[in-house]
Amino acid sequence: MGVLTGIEDLLRAAAPQVLAAVVRRYGDFDTCEDAVQEALIAATRQWPVEGVPDNPRSWLITVAARRRIELLRSENARRSRESQVAADPTPEVRGDDELALLLLCCHPALTPVSQVALTLRAVGGLTTAEIARALLVPEPTVGQRISRAKQRIRDCGARFAMPDPDDLGERLTGVRQVLYLIFNEGYTASSGARLHRVELTAEAIRLTRQLRDRLPADGETAGLLALMLLTDARRPARTRPDGALVPLAEQNRALWDAAAIAEGVEIITGALRDTRLGPFQLQAAIAAVHDEATRPELTDWRQIQLLYGMLHALAPSPMVTLNRIVASAMVDGPSTALAALAEAAADPALAVHHRVAAVRAHLLEMAGDPAAAREQYRLAARQTLSLPERLYLESRAARLA
């Protein structure tokens, strides 16, 4: 098992470097990506038996280059190009390639689901089957998303190259969104024992860590990594063994991952000090304030309220508004928060949000109105799209009966 895991880690780390090297040399992302997938599969079969080659990356590049020619050869229409291709020198690994690859997989012309699937396969080095299991959809569906994504890249003429410096910032925003989406996919599917399921949260953290290594001065990438670490640190306490959701105030904080919290706090502290402020940094800062409280009553709610205020100014969203109101209840009391909620809910965008009732229920319970709180908990339970959340809201309602 140890050997196998070692090989898997090696392959996953090498996958984007190998793909980038091959794409840079030959240009045709679509075929190169298929060829690298086949090389990775060949390595998974051969290496445990024959041993890991001295230079694993060269081995993979050589096999991928050969597979690519075989793939092209099977396409009659491209036969004329093959002899020229075969004579090309062997590609090599270069530093910036992986970032260019990540940018290509998160190209704005692709839909979010395609970006996620392609990034996990081309940059994460996961197989289609592994991605399918992680996303809880059938394998052919993931295969289709990947092949559509590659076709779209071909059709829109996206190139494997670093974008202009002017565009880089915006493209990186897209990349961070995709990484955060992968993290959340893992986070939302993490309840319940799913054996042999690739941990998407761990994968998202790994990829974000790589991105940060490449862009150490980028505050928002640091903020995203810190947010992931500080959120994932609470995972062991977030659900009961039966899968039931545990609210933050009731979590056993001894179960929180202290090492992840320490790393997350260090990263976000550095980013807040040295870089330009952004929404991921603020979210990470909020997570850090929660994680640093060893007991719920030690939580610095004033600080959290302040940070949500800044987040609201920088990147407003219904969730930010609701969380800010929850924080204000802890600082200013439930009646002030209820008034703020009534005002906020007058906004049509928020009025239909399924978590308004959950917040109202929580505030009414705090205010000592169990009958009204129970009614709102029941309403919230009917409106949620999450199974553990529904069970949690129903149990809150039952507790007030």
Q: Give residues in contact with other proteins (CB under 8 A).
A: 111-114, 117, 135-138, 140-142, 144-145, 148, 184, 187-192, 234, 238-239, 243, 245, 247-248, 323, 326, 355, 358-359, 362, 384-390, 392
Identity of residue 292: E
Residue 136 or 371 having the CB closest to other proteins: 136
Q: Could you say which DSSP state residue 119 is in?
A: I
Residue 114 or 119 having the CB closest to other proteins: 114
Query: Residue 189 CB, nearest distance to other proteins (Å)?
Result: 6
Q: Decide: helix, strand or coil at residue 113.
A: helix
Query: Residue 30 CB, nearest distance to other proteins (Å)?
Result: 16
Instruction: For residues 289 and 298, give the distance between their C-alpha atoms in angstroms, rounded to a whole number.
Output: 10
Query: Residue 8 CB, nearest distance to other proteins (Å)?
Result: 25
Residues whose CB falls within 8 Å of the CB of residue 57, separated by 6 or more in sequence, listed in order: 14, 17, 18, 21, 93
Residue 63 or 287 having the CB closest to other proteins: 287
Report the 10 Å Cβ neighbour count for 383: 17
Residue 68 or 133 having the CB closest to other proteins: 133
Residue 99 or 245 having the CB closest to other proteins: 245
Query: Residue 320 CB, nearest distance to other proteins (Å)?
Result: 12
Residues whose CB falls within 8 Å of the CB of residue 333, separated by 6 or more in sequence, listed in order: none
Query: Residue 56 CB, nearest distance to other proteins (Å)?
Result: 32
Query: Residue 116 CB, nearest distance to other proteins (Å)?
Result: 11
Residue 11 or 153 having the CB closest to other proteins: 153
Query: Residue 141 CB, nearest distance to other proteins (Å)?
Result: 5
Q: Which residue, 33, 393, 72, is CA-closest to 244?
A: 393
Residue 312 or 355 having the CB closest to other proteins: 355
- Looking up tokens 């051969």 gives 46
Cα of 384 vs its chain's centroid, Å: 22
Q: Which residue, 145, 110, 105, is CA-closest to 125?
A: 105
Q: Cβ(88)–Cβ(24) under 8 Å?
A: no
Query: Residue 290 CB, nearest distance to other proteins (Å)?
Result: 8
End-to-end CA distance of the chain: 51
Residue 245 or 285 having the CB closest to other proteins: 245
Q: Which residue, 360, 350, 353, is CA-closest to 383?
A: 353
Query: Residue 248 CB, nearest distance to other proteins (Å)?
Result: 5
Return the HEC string of 278-330: CHHHHHHHHHHHHHHCCCHHHCCHHHHHHHHHHHHHHCCCHHHHHHHHHHHHH
Query: Residue 191 CB, nearest distance to other proteins (Å)?
Result: 4
Query: Residue 329 CB, nearest distance to other proteins (Å)?
Result: 10
What beta strand segments (E) does 18-171 contain?
none
Instruction: For residues 34 and 51, give the distance between their C-alpha atoms in angstroms, rounded to a whole number.
Output: 24
Residue 66 or 235 having the CB closest to other proteins: 235
Residue 100 or 337 having the CB closest to other proteins: 337
List alpha helices for 51-156, DSSP H: 56-74, 79-86, 97-105, 112-118, 128-135, 139-155
Residue 362 or 374 having the CB closest to other proteins: 362
Report CA dihedral (179, 183, 377, 325) to the nearest 10 degrees: -50
Instruction: For residues 302 and 305, give the distance between their C-alpha atoms in angstroms, rounded to a whole number.
Output: 5
Instruction: For residues 130 and 23, give the distance between their C-alpha atoms in angstroms, rounded to a whole number.
Output: 23
Instruction: For residues 66 and 34, give the distance between their C-alpha atoms in angstroms, rounded to a whole number.
Output: 12
